[in-house]
Amino acid sequence: MRVAEARATPSVKARVVGRLTPRTPEGTTTIVPVFRRALRSGALWVEVGVPVLPNGTTGWVQRATLGGYGFVGSRLDISLANLRATLYHGSKRVFTAPIGVGRSKWPTPTGRFIIRNKLTKYASAMYGPLAFGTTARSAVLTDWPAGGFVGIHGTDQPRLIPGQISHGCIRLRNGDILRLARLMPIGTPVTIR
């Protein structure tokens, strides 16, 4: 991927709604979900998810600015009401676990997102052995590093799970996050409801 300005419509003259860069703030390759395509003035454009506030923002970029496409056959469902994460491969449920989510003053954002990276260099007692970065962003804690991206990670307080215990991130017990890491690829769509 090259640096690209995502636009409101498939036109170089359209309003810019966000900017895509080749690397995430954590130094991993940027990936974006692709929703549809359009041919305009001989150029192929694709509508992509743009990881900016408000969550759910989409924009159009020329296809040539992106790298290769990939298909992911899994999806992760996060239920805030049931405090549960469930991973599906196709229609088959392959993982489920209780979770911790954001407190009412720091809510976990709802919507459709993707898993943008798997991070092990941030392993710590507080965050557990690894974290998944998502494209979800906190609308409340925008001063977080890199602007408030929501993660899915382990915890040093497993006894608090399930519950409303975080600043917006989704917490799993360390054994569960390690199990999820073996099953869930980067690029997996995530629905938080």
- Given a cut of 80, is residue 155 above it in pLDDT? yes
- If asked whether residues 155 and 175 sit together in one domain, one would say yes
- If asked whether residues 25 and 113 sit together in one domain, one would say no
Q: What is the pLDDT of residue 180?
A: 98
Sheet containing 16-20: which strands, arranged edge to edge? 16-20, 4-7, 58-62, 43-49, 34-40
- If asked whether residues 126 and 149 sit together in one domain, one would say yes
Boundaries of domain holding 127: 74-192
Domain boundary among 29, 47, 65: 65
Say which DSSP state 176 is in.
H
- Bridge partner list, 92: 89
Range 164-177 burial, b when 16+ CB lie within 10 A, else e: bbbbbbbbbbbebb
- Given a cut of 80, is residue 130 above it in pLDDT? yes
Residue of higher predicted confidence among 146 and 183: 183
Q: What is the pLDDT of residue 123?
A: 65
Say which DSSP state 144 is in.
S
Residues acting as catalytic residues: 153, 169
Percentage of the chain exceeding pLDDT 70: 96
Task: State the Cα–Cα distance between residues 124 and 120, nearest whole angstrom.
Answer: 9
pLDDT tens-digit map of 19-31: 999 999 888 999 9
Domain of residue 147, CATH code: 2.40.440.10
Query: Could you please report the per-residue DSSP string of 50-119?
Result: --STTTT-EEEEEGGGS-------EEEEEETTTTEEEEEETTEEEEEEE-EEE-TTSPPPPEEEEEEEEE
- Given a cut of 80, is residue 71 above it in pLDDT? yes
Sorted by sequence, the CB contacts under 8 Å of residue 42 that are 6+ apart come out as: none
- Bridge partner list, 49: 58
Q: What is the pLDDT of residue 56?
A: 94
The predicted model gives 53-71 an average pLDDT of: 94
Q: What is the pLDDT of residue 31?
A: 93
| Confidence tier at 75 by pLDDT (50, 70, 90) | very high
- If asked whether residues 59 and 90 sit together in one domain, one would say no
| Confidence tier at 126 by pLDDT (50, 70, 90) | confident
The domain tally of the chain equals 2
